[in-house]
């Protein structure tokens, strides 16, 4: 697997745009008492590669604070944490391999 260059931080305008897109998304992964497992990382990796923007739910029994969970999962999955809203995380990673009509074009 080729090493990806570190993505530049999202601007507040880009985060706002992504939050708008993420509003109607369904949750694609859940973090539970086991923490960030290989299975969760694989699910996040596959889903973010296909969609670029995903929602992840942090369950009550997750061993860390929800904000910590977001930072930890973003670092482990090489995504950017767009938002923590309640117990829901919104993660983004651009995928230049997607067809142009499937990619998210940031403002």
Q: Domains of the chain, with CATH numbers?
A: 12-92 (3.30.110.60)
Tokens 């080729």 locate to: 2
User: At 44, is the pLDDT very low, low, confident or very high (cuts 50, 70, 90)?
Assistant: very high
What percent of the chain has a predicted confidence (pLDDT) above 90?
A: 79
Selection from 58, 49, 102 nearest residue 79 by Cα: 49
pLDDT of residue 101: 87
Quote the pTM value: 0.88
Q: Is residue 84 over pLDDT 90?
A: yes
pLDDT of residue 6: 62
- DSSP element (H, E) containing 57: strand 53-58
pLDDT of residue 1: 38
Contact yes or no for 74/66 (Cβ under 8 A): no
- Any residues with CB less than 8 A from the CB of 102 and at least 6 apart, and which? none
Q: Cα 105 to the chain's mean position, in Å?
A: 16
């Amino acid at each position: 697997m080729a090493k990806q260059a570190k993505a530049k931080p999202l601007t507040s305008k880009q985060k706002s745009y992504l939050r708008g897109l993420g509003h109607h998304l369904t949750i694609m992964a859940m973090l539970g008492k086991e923490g960030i497992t290989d299975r969760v990382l694989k699910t996040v990796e596959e889903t973010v590669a296909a969609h670029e923007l995903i929602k992840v739910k942090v369950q009550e029994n997750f061993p860390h604070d929800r904000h910590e969970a977001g930072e930890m999962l973003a670092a482990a999955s090489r995504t950017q944490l767009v938002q923590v809203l309640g117990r829901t995380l919104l993660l983004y990673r651009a995928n230049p391999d997607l067809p142009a009509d499937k990619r998210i074009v940031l403002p």
